[in-house]
Amino acid sequence: MFRYGDIVSLAVMMRILNILSPSVTAYLINEAESSIAKDFSQIISEVTDFTRAADAYLSELVEKSGGEAVTTPETSRLFEGLGIIGPETTLQYGEHVDRFSSHMIQDIRNNWLSSEASITIKAPSRSQRPSTTQSGQGTSFPKWEQSDLLQVLREQMRTWNHAHDMITKATSYGALIDEILF
């Protein structure tokens, strides 16, 4: 089941993808024959399949709620568009990614304290008394309604889909013009 932080993280990741999308598109246009461009095209298609399915599911959730509290999305339904069969599906990463991930997980387990209201990260002490800027209260979670979070996530999915639709149309128009002229 999805938690508050998971929804925020996914929305932020989609926002980052949307911000990077114009630069990636420019690269793909300028370096269309590179091996990286071919990989990117496949990845963009996979992300778009995911965002289309996720947008449809999120729209269904919001419409079913009828203005009342939205239920927490089911992970399997939200990620249905990725084409991942289930937990037995494994992704292969490089040694460096595995080592970095392990280090981050261990650091979070050892140094992060979280509660319903905040996250606090333990840091090495420098003196016997706390500084005036360090209250020891941690960083509080922003208070968002789940329906607002799902709406933000849905908007990010739609932004990606709109941009991909525009790229697809521009590409097909360009191919049509090339075909007519040449």
Considering only residues 140 and 182, tell me which one the structure prediction assigns the higher pLDDT. 140
How far apart are alpha carbons 6 and 12 in whole angstroms? 10
Per the CB < 8 A criterion, the answer to whether 150 and 62 are in contact is yes
Whether the predicted model's global pTM rises above the 0.75 cut: no
Task: Confirm if 119 and 138 have CB atoms less than 8 A apart.
Answer: yes
More confident residue, 152 or 177: 152
Q: Amino acid letter at 78?
A: L
Q: What are phi and psi of 113, to 5 degrees?
A: -115, 125
How far apart, in whole angstroms, are the C-alpha atoms of residue 80 and residue 54? 7
Number of separate helices (H) and strands (E) present in the chain: 5, 3
pLDDT band at 122 (very low <50, low <70, confident <90, very high): confident
Distance from C-alpha of 110 to C-alpha of 91, rounded to nearest angstrom: 26
pLDDT per residue as tens digits for the range 20-34? 988 888 888 888 888
Q: How far is it, in rounded angstroms, from Cα 100 to Cα 136? A: 28
Tens digits of residue pLDDT in 69-103: 667 788 888 888 887 654 444 455 567 777 887 88
Q: Tell me the sheet residues that pair with 113.
A: 120
Please say if the pLDDT value at position 107 is more than 50: yes
Confidence at residue 89, expressed as pLDDT on a 0 to 100 scale: 44
